[in-house]
Each structure stands twice: as structure tokens, then as C-alpha cells.
A = this chain, B = another copy of it.
Amino acid sequence: MKAKVTITLKNGVLDPQGKAIEHALTALDFGGVDEVRQGKVIELDLAETDEAKAKTQVEAMCEKLLANTVIEDYSIELSA
């Protein structure tokens, strides 16, 4: 199955990229934009076909490698 992992900065962690984008959007005259945050998305194909097992596996990947839980949260979406 396919997994999509979205990794975003935790609340309270200042996001320089998000801030810069917000700044640039404002400079480009896009008004009314606020709270811009940038994160990562990682897509994977898994050999695993069982959803529960796949989830456990991807969670382990996130904890071990994909996310830095000191500053980042992650969420996982699975699809066939």
C-alpha cells in the first residue's frame, strides 16, 4: 500500500521558512494571508498490505528517521 507522511513543525516552534513565505506573499500583494507554515510530505510505496501493520511500520519510520520529534509532529495517511 501507499503511505503519505506529513511532517510539520510543532506549535510554538518558530518556522523561518513559513515566515519568509508569508513575507514574500505580502510583498507580492497577496493580502489577508496569515500563519503560513511549511512542512514536508513523504510518499512511500510499501510491500505491506495489511493496514494496521503498515501503520505500525510507518510510525516506526517516523520515530526513527523521518521526523525529529523535538521540533516536528507527523501524521500518516494510508491508501491502497
Contacts and interface: CB of A to CB of B under 8 A. Distances in A.
A37 B43 contact: yes
Interface of A: 6, 8, 18, 21-22, 24-25, 28, 30-48, 57, 60-61, 64-66
B33 A45 contact: yes
Given A32-B48, A36-B43, A66 B21 contact: yes
B41 A35 contact: no
A77 B28 CA distance: 22
B36 A38 contact: no
A33 B45 CA distance: 6
Contact of A40 (B33, B39, B44): B39
A12 to B, nearest CB: 15
